[in-house]
Amino acid sequence: MTLGLLGQYVMNGVMLGMMYALVAVGFTLFFGVLDIIQFSHGDVLAFGAFVALAVWAALVKLGLVSPAIQLVLVVVVSALATAAVGALVARFVVLPLKGAPSLNVLLVTLMMGTVLREAIRLFYPGGSQPQRFPALLPTTGYDLGGFNLRLDNLILLAAGALLIAGTHLFITRTRLGLAIRAVAQDEETARTMGIDFRAVVLFTFGLGSALAAFAGAMDGLYYNEVYFGMGLLLGVIGFAAAIIGGLGNLYGAVIGGFLFAALQTIGAVALPFASAYKDVFAFAVVIALMAVRPTGLIGERASERV
């Protein structure tokens, strides 16, 4: 195992970790605000990626070929559209079920995810096949002795880190962020303080979905491919990562994401069949972890009403 090879594995792991972290942050946001698990988050990510692809195709038709402009427009439009979809799901599917047993909300969002996934497969032209996602970032690579460092990967990493930091700052430093944290802590009191509960929920869903859209675009840019099922595994991994880090804790979610990626990378390197068993290994560890610490490594900041 040369240093260059090791470096390559580390790089791959870091990229995966960043994507999982972005998804996990979304889960944590939704849970913090509404005490629910938005199981369709992964499929919202896939939706965002496909919207990005569609926007790009439209831009090409319109004649705009500069990659920089394409990139900005694609990301912005996709984020807005996905935020809208997220808010709609919140308004018509999640909020009406507010009083219902938490199992119902879990199931409803899980099924919504399936609806989104199948909708992409059936209604996007050629949706059942993997679609090529354009390479909009500069692809120059620097060969550091057996280890290929690419500019686009670095940009993606930086963008992801900025997004997470930005979200954290938003939540902690702005008035709207304050409202979100108030609702997360105690919904009734927040309402008596004059905070519009509904608006906060819709906004949070929009924000989380926009983050998912970014993650989807990142995924597309990294693999140069999107396909309708890409959200399912990412969603489950993001959820697992959020749980490991402790639901409701933003930085816990980030740690959880990188931890899961580390597990997968270790599995890929250490186990005999290259990457075949890495998912089995990673999930098995997660299950074992849950047996030992049922509410995650850092623990959920919540109490239960008896």
Partner 1 sequence: MNRWRGAAVAAALAVACAVYAWAFLRAESQQALAILVLVAVAAGAVATRTRVFDKVPPVPERLAQAFALVAVAGLCLALREDDFSLLLVARVLIVVLACLGLHIQLGHAGILNFAGASFFGVGGYTAAVLTRSTGLPHLLVLVAGGAMAVLIGTLIVVPVLRTRGHYAALITIAFALLFRTFLEVNDSLGGPQGLKLREIRIGPWRFNDPVELGPFAGSFYLNYLALLLVLLAIFWIVIQRLERSWIGIDLDAVRLDETAAATFGIEIARWKILAFTLGNFLAGVAGAVSAHMVGFIAPNNYSFGESLVLVSILLLGGVGNPWGVALASAIVVILPEKLQVLQEYRFLLYAGMVVLILIFRPVGLLPRRMRRLASSP
Partner 2 sequence: MRSMFAALCTVLGLASSAGAKDTVRIAFVGPLTGGNSAIGLGGRNSADLAVKLRNQDGKAKYQYDLVVLDDECKPDAGVQVATKAGSDRTIVAGVTHYCSVVAMATVDTYHRFGLPVVVWGAVLPDITYANDFKEVHRVNGTMINQNETNAKFVTERGYKRVAVIHDTTDYGKGHDKYFTQFLTKDGGKVLIDLGVTADQQDFTAELTQIKAQNPEVLYFGGLTPIGVRIRAQMDKLGLNAQFDGTSGIVNDDFIKALGPLAEGVLAFREGAPAEKLPHGKKFLEDYGKQGYTNPPEAYGPFAYAAAQLIMDAIEKVGPDRKKIAAELRKTKDVDTIVGKVTFDDHGQNTVPVITKYVVQDGKWVLWEDSEYASGKRKLRGK
Residues in 153-212 at the binding interface with partner 2, rule: CB under 8 A:
none
Residue 236 binding: pick among partner 2, partner 1, none (C-beta 5-8 Å cut-off by kind): partner 1
Least CB distance from residue 279 to partner 1, whole Å? Answer: 5
Q: What is the DSSP secondary structure assignment for residue 100, as one 8-state letter?
A: S
Our finding on whether 283 is near partner 1 (CB under 8 A) is yes
Q: How wide is the angle at C-alpha 158 spanned by C-alphas 156 and 160, nearest 5°?
A: 70
Nearer to partner 1, 106 or 149 (CB): 106
**Which structure tokens are listed for 115?**
């609806």
Q: How distant, in Å, are the alpha carbons of 130, 179, 187, 274 from that of 193?
A: 49, 10, 10, 56
Q: Is 12 in the site for partner 2 (CB under 8 A)?
A: yes
The Cα-based distances of 261 to 9, 13, 16, 29, 269 in angstroms read 11, 5, 6, 21, 12
Q: What is the smallest separation between the CB atom of 160 and partner 1, expressed in angstroms?
A: 24
Residue 120 or 221: which CB sits closer to partner 1?
A: 120
Residue 142, φ and ψ in degrees, nearest 5: -110, 120
The residues near 185 (Cβ < 8 Å, ≥ 6 apart) are: none
- CB nearer to partner 2: give 256 or 267: 267
Distance between CA atoms of residues 227 and 121, nearest Å? 8
Q: How far is the CB of 37 from partner 2 (least distance, A)?
A: 24
Report helix, strand or coil for 243.
Answer: helix
Considering only the C-alpha atoms of the chain, give the largest distance between any 2 of them, rounded to a whole number of Å. Answer: 62
Could you tell me which stretch among 89-97, 136-144, 170-178, 209-217 binds partner 1 (CB under 8 A)?
A: 89-97
Residue 296, SS3 per DSSP:
coil
Residues 215-244 that bind partner 1 (CB under 8 A): 232-233, 236, 239-240, 243
Q: Does 68 participate in binding partner 1 (rule CB under 8 A)?
A: no
Residue 270 near partner 1 by CB under 8 A: no
Phi, psi at residue 138, to the nearest 5°? Answer: -60, 135
Residues in touch with partner 1 (CB under 8 A):
37, 93, 96-97, 100, 102-104, 106-108, 110-112, 114-115, 118-119, 122, 232-233, 236, 239-240, 243, 273, 276-277, 279-280, 283-284, 286-288, 290-291, 294-295, 306
Residues in touch with partner 2 (CB under 8 A):
2, 5, 8-9, 12, 16, 128-132, 141, 143, 146, 148, 150, 223-225, 230, 233, 268-269, 273-276, 278
